[in-house]
Amino acid sequence: MRLCITGILLAAALTAADVKYDGAKVHYESYGKGSEAVVFIHGWTCDLTFWRGQAPVYEKRRALLIDLPGHGQSEPAADYSMDRFARAIDAVMRDAGVSKATLVGHSMGGPVVLSYLRLFPQKTSGIVLVDAVLQPARTPEEEAKASAQIEPFLSGFAKPEYRDTMAKMIDGMYSAKTTPAMRAEITAKMVGTPQTVVVGAMRGMFATPGLKESEKYNVPAMVIMNAAQKRDGYEGLLRKSFPNLRSYESWQGVGHFLMMEDPARFNTALEKFLAQR
């Protein structure tokens, strides 16, 4: 492991570190001390800086911010399945001396959280889904139909002009609260992701097995969604699998990056959830 202490951030008790998982470097930031932490997991083609608005939360407690494999300062991986991401998170936790965590996942971070929960239930003390969609399980016939419908969408990211395709899609994720500076930063970071990661992570996200009727997890859970996207039946699906779902909120007037657009409101909700656990 290589450690570097950033002097200007010493007051925030930040340790920036790298750990090897399956031969590739995974970069993370560690705050505070202790064996139980809050772990922040970014979305597709994003990185740990997308959580900077949550500094009032993570700077005063044990917390980890992670660049998933292929994202941010982490090195490319052999594949970009949600299970690989989950195992990389576990490697970071072990390296940081964390044995149990509340996982906060934005967007693709939601399927990553689900994969981690499936693999390491005894290490999961709570989950927070931030505009993240978990799918119900499909029959083989439904799976084949969904795959056929998804392929044309995925093919757009495999073309030379994939950055233009991404930029158009990302633009639809913004709201009136997404400032011009925020839009420029988000778009630049996302379209700057290597194409292999763009395609691989999107494919890995779609390939994540859906929630089965028999799946039940009693961990405390909180969900915050963007109300602009209609998700009929989604709360009911989650309440079946997560009977200890303590809060399901649907926010008006925000876009996909709601924790960046309204950090004060988000941080208040997260702090309340963490205090009730």
What domains lie within the chain, and their CATH numbers? Answer: 2-276 (3.40.50.1820)
Diameter over CA atoms, the chain: 56
Q: Are 201 and 80 in contact (CB under 8 A)?
A: yes
Neighbouring C-beta atoms of residue 87, cutoff 10 Å = 19
Tokens coding 23: 């031969």
Q: How far apart are the first and last CA of the chain?
A: 32
Nearest to 65 by CA among 27, 111, 122, 121: 27
The secondary structure of 58-76 as a DSSP string is HTTSSEEEE--TTSTTSPP
CA distance 5 to 15: 5
Q: Are 70 and 76 in contact (CB under 8 A)?
A: yes
Tokens coding 102: 């509340």
Tokens coding 220: 């405390």
Instruction: Tell me the pLDDT of the chain (277 aa) as tens digits.
Output: 444 444 344 445 789 999 999 999 999 999 999 999 999 999 999 999 999 999 999 999 999 999 999 999 999 999 999 999 999 999 999 999 999 999 999 999 999 999 999 999 999 999 999 999 999 999 989 888 888 888 889 999 999 999 999 999 999 999 999 999 999 999 999 999 999 999 999 999 999 999 999 999 999 999 999 999 889 999 999 999 999 999 999 999 999 999 999 999 999 999 999 998 7
Q: Alpha helix locations (H) across 120-161?
A: 140-155
Q: Give pLDDT, residue 135.
A: 94
Q: List C-alpha distances in Å: 88 to 26, 35, 75, 108, 121.
A: 7, 18, 11, 15, 15
Neighbouring C-beta atoms of residue 144, cutoff 10 Å = 11
